[in-house]
Structure 1
Amino acid sequence: MTGPRLSTRLRFGAAALLVAVGAAASVAAAPDLPARMVTTWDAAGEPTGTLSKTAGMWLVPGLAAGLLGLFALLPRIDPLRENVAAFRVHYDRFVVVLTAFLVALHLSVLAVNLGYAVDVTTLAVAGGAALFYYLGTLLPHVEPNWFVGIRTPWTLSDDAVWDRTHALGGRLFKLSALIAVVGLFVGEYAVYFLVGPALATAAVTAAYSYVLYARRGDDGSDPDAAGRTAK
């Protein structure tokens, strides 16, 4: 077994362990959970929806397990799997971070339904900020592939556009994370400090990739390359 393969298995094993922790917590809490569990809150932190006990116990662990299986499969079926191998460490770590985020949310929901005073909205914003920051760390390392990254028609059609768009996306997601942290000190409606910047980042990077692609030279060259080289 090669070193990189072992490392990937260890990281996915850690993510699987997190899923198991979430599932075990559901089993342990089951006797004391209400028949209807509160599972959604509005931007002000007020409960807005419930699920049956069974659904509330297993929805997130099931989702996390499914995503883990999907993330394990994608590098194997990607026609550009050799490009994925180039950033596999960052990819694997993102899977662990995302799984930890989902399990933390699940544990907080269980705690609320057991009667503990947990601010799920604040925890979601803080966890989302951490997730965005790591996404900002991941994106500059992502090589062209069919499943991971900012995949617009223009990034998928030109490697230079891909690289520059992902460099910008990395910076913007880190900025989004910082804005979300500021939102934690605002109090009510902190979730907007998480969702708003994320939507803006998606829109800006998509538009940026189009502009870069449209500005290519007739031969497909990067019109700014000469200037950057001169500097």
Structure 2
Amino acid sequence: MNTHQRFGLAAVFVVFSGIVSLLTAPELPAEIVSNWNAAGEPSGTMPKTLALWLFPGLTAVLLVVFALIPQIDPLQENINAFRPYYDWFVVIFTGYMLLLHAGIVAFNLGYEFDFTYLVLIAAAGLLYYSGILLTHAERNWFVGIRTPWTLSSEEVWNRTHALGGRLFKLTTILTLVGLLFGEYALYFLIVPTLLTTGITVAYSYYLYERIERRGSSSPDTGVRHY
């Protein structure tokens, strides 16, 4: 399967999301539940038209952005080096958005389930693949852990992304463990994700500074004349 086919599959998910909205619109109330609290209880609504087209429209826009990124990145050749992993991330992301959209529609059609659990399971899949993507990502301006220090050093980029990949996979496990903790389940997604972000940024800075100090302390092997 090539890039065009993978993006075609992602586009199918977007179209299917729109079809779900079209087919279910007559059966849905004028106001649709669109927000849930940590305990999985409905906490907010929005007008039906907006709710039905928010996810399909947003996903379509993001799909276009994903398609443009490899074309406009100054390090395009680096993205091409891990392009299959990037493309599959786009497919999984559009599938994630479709699942959330379908879940909102199903809930408002009267199917009772804990929406928080749906979010956690879907997010766990997306996070796990994000970990895979990070371990294969080459240095670029749009995809990955982009800090001034990772963008300045190939070694810092590679080592930070190796750590980030492991942490995202660990976050996936913790997210699934959270399913056992009821109203606290959402925190098993939010807290590890924030920690992963903070740790990887701090690690990239620490690693860059250590490499810089190592370089500056290297012995001078040049011949000196007096």
Higher helix share: 2
For residues 213 and 177 of structure 2, the distance between their equivalents in structure 1, rounded to whole angstroms, comes to 44
Equivalences, count:
218
Q: Report the 3-state secondary structure (helix = DSSP H, G, I; strand = E; otherwise coil) of the residue aligned with 2:178.
A: helix
Find the structure with the greater CA-based Rg.
2
Are positions 1:52 and 2:47 aligned together?
Answer: yes
The unaligned stretches of length 5 or more in structure 2 are 219-226
What does residue 118 of structure 2 align with?
A: 123
For residues 30 and 78 of structure 2, the distance between their equivalents in structure 1, rounded to whole angstroms, comes to 48
Question: Identity of aligned pairs, percent?
Answer: 55
C-alpha RMSD of the superposition: 1.6
Are positions 1:200 and 2:202 aligned together?
Answer: no
Aligned-residue offset at 1:195: 1.1
Residue pair 1:108, 1:118 contacting (<8 A) in 2 also: no
Aligned-residue offset at 1:218: 4.8
The unaligned stretches of length 5 or more in structure 1 are 1-5, 224-231
Q: Spell out, residue by residue over 1:31-78, the C-alpha distance to the aligned partner (whole angstroms, 9 max, x if none).
A: 011101110101111111111010000000111111111000000000
For residues 185 and 8 of structure 2, the distance between their equivalents in structure 1, rounded to whole angstroms, comes to 33
Q: What TM-score, normalized by structure 2, do the two folds share?
A: 0.93
The correspondence for 1:114, drawn from 109, 114, 125, is 109
Q: What TM-score, normalized by structure 1, do the two folds share?
A: 0.91
What does residue 229 of structure 1 align with?
A: none
For residues 209 and 99 of structure 2, the distance between their equivalents in structure 1, rounded to whole angstroms, comes to 43
For residues 77 and 219 of structure 1, the distance between their equivalents in structure 2, rounded to whole angstroms, comes to 35
Matches within 5 A, 1:170-189: 170-189=165-184
For residues 165 and 214 of structure 2, the distance between their equivalents in structure 1, rounded to whole angstroms, comes to 28
Runs of 4 or more, structure 1, over 6 Å off, are none
